[in-house]
Amino acid sequence: MPSLGDIFRKFKKAEKKVEVKGVSGKTYLKAMLLRDLSDLDAVKSEVRSGNVMILRITPLANKSVEDVKRAVNELCEFAESVGGDIARLGEERVVICPPNVRIWREKTQVPNEPIPTAA
């Protein structure tokens, strides 16, 4: 199974923004197994309602790696269209957030090694 890092891609900014309803209410963190592509509608509905979703993709990956790629690409496009955020959590999980929640990403540091110079 390819790593989630191989599947995730950056998308261009979406021209059309989708309105997210209910974001001003309580935000819940929900976990869900992604078993089939049809489960994506429920995920999108939850994010539109303002909830954070953690998806375990292993059941779908066991069926079809191509379906995992399609699902992740569709969720990336959706997250961008609503102004949300998406990231992978290890090799088996994906988190998708509504617009009022941001995912913190640590920037990789370059080691402090002296720059070699010509003699």
Q: Are strands 93-97 and 52-56 parallel, antiparallel or unpaired?
A: antiparallel
Relative to beta strand 52-56, strand 85-89 is unpaired
Q: What is the pLDDT of residue 14?
A: 39
Residues 75, 72: Cα–Cα separation, whole Å: 5
The CATH superfamily holding the domain 28-97 is SepF-like protein (3.30.110.150)
User: Which pTM does this prediction carry?
Assistant: 0.71
Distance between CA atoms of residues 57 and 16, nearest Å:
28
Label residue 113 by pLDDT band (50, 70, 90).
Answer: low
Comparing CA positions, the residue from 25, 43, 24, 35 lying closest to residue 86 is 43
Q: Identify the top-confidence range among 1-5, 15-19, 76-80.
A: 76-80
Q: Which residues contact 71 (CB under 8 A, 6 or more apart)?
A: 34, 37, 40, 57, 60
Instruction: Supply 13's token pair.
Output: 């900014």
Residue among 20, 79, 88 nearest 49 (CA): 20
Write out pLDDT tens, residues 43-96.
999 999 999 999 999 999 999 999 999 999 999 999 999 999 999 999 999 999
